[in-house]
Homo-oligomer: A and B are copies of this chain.
Amino acid sequence: MEKVYAGIIGLGRAGQMHLKNLLTISDIEIVQVADVFIENVSEKLNALGITNQTKDYHELLSNPKINTVFIFTSTDTHEEIVTAAAKAGKNIFCEKPLSMNTDEQASIKVLQEVKKAGVSLQIGFNRRMDPQFRAVHENIQNGKIGTPQMVKITSRDPDVLPHELIKRIGGLLFDFTMHDFDIARYMMHSNISEVYAKGGTLIDPTLKDINDIDTLALVLQFENGTYGLIDNSRRAVYGYDQRVEVFGSEGMLKAENVSGSTVELYNSKRTELSNPLPVFQERYRPAYIAEMKAFVKSLLLNKPVVAEGLDVIMAQRAASAAQKSLETGLPQKVDASYPLI
């Protein structure tokens, strides 16, 4: 492939953010965009010079110039649209998960279509491309800490999401911790074989009404015998908190939080620093751009993608096991072998 001719499906908040990032990347030409409520964003798109707009994503998929689609629609449409895109022979970038159905058979079916079509699929596990986490990963691969023995991940959101949104995108485990499961596997180069989860509603007790929690403490065991710890909270008053630590036989790597400033203020009371960046859009902006660039590169150079379909299934398995652990109060085994596609 010499150039990415892109179709973008879904132009809600996430889609618009990604669109702006895509515009800064060379080797991509945005051919057409689709959204069921295209009229709401039509003018904005025109201002960006994107005039080929449609309400119907099928129309976009049948555009022969387009060789790659970027899917930013709501989670419940992924299964259908990814399948259709594969059948139309387009390469696919899609946010996780592939299906709202926690039974992985649904996702496997999608991946089988992707495989059959021989197209490329990259999952939006953006944190793999965060410059901080990426540096940790590279240092591990370069042997800088010997053999990894323990991974520790802290993920905290700045505030509880609206219940309506949670219902649509999934609760803490399937929407938020999902990223941590993926990063844990990514750092340890091993699949998760057991999960034990403790959690509850220390912040917003009404989350129980929608069967969700806001606070989570979790132990992982990996197939290779190593361990992991994850802690989550929905409300960190000091900002978005995203840290990873990997401990190994020859050292330790820590990715600390990212703050907006290096300025230090010393006064008679204390030394003051800036807080971590407040929201994921800011914190992960470099990651969002980098994952798109990586996808383009893998398409142009015919190289493996940064996060593939199987990765989302493996993360989902851990989330399902964690859910069961919360319900039963017992540790849960996780199948660490990849499904056959």
Using CB atoms and an 8 Å cutoff, list the residues of chain A in contact with chain B: 24, 49, 131-132, 135-136, 139, 144-145, 147, 149-150, 152, 154, 156, 194, 196, 198-200, 202-203, 215, 217-221, 225-229, 231, 233, 235-239, 241, 247, 249-276, 329-331
- Tell me the smallest distance from the CB of A34 to a CB of chain B, in Å: 23
With A132-B261, A262-B256 in contact, do A267 and B233 touch (Cβ < 8 Å)? Answer: no
- Tell me the smallest distance from the CB of A273 to a CB of chain B, in Å: 4
- Tell me the smallest distance from the CB of A268 to a CB of chain B, in Å: 4
* 12 A/B residue pairs, CB under 8 Å, sorted by A: A135-B274, A139-B263, A196-B198, A236-B266, A237-B250, A237-B267, A250-B267, A253-B266, A270-B273, A270-B274, A273-B273, A330-B330
Chain B: which residue is nearest A239 at the CB level?
Answer: B266
With A145-B267, A196-B219, A275-B271 in contact, do A233 and B247 touch (Cβ < 8 Å)? Answer: yes
Taking a contact as CB atoms under 8 Å apart, the answer to whether A271 and B238 are in contact is yes
- Tell me the smallest distance from the CB of A197 to a CB of chain B, in Å: 8
Chain B: which residue is nearest A226 at the CB level?
Answer: B202
- Tell me the smallest distance from the CB of A55 to a CB of chain B, in Å: 26
Residues on B with C-beta less than 8 A from A251 are 237-238, 265-268
Contact of A267 among B24, B238, B263, B265 (CB under 8 A): B238
Chain B: which residue is nearest A149 at the CB level?
Answer: B202
Residues on B with C-beta less than 8 A from A220 are 217
Give bound CA distance, A141 to B135, whole Å.
Answer: 32
Taking a contact as CB atoms under 8 Å apart, the answer to whether B135 and A263 are in contact is yes
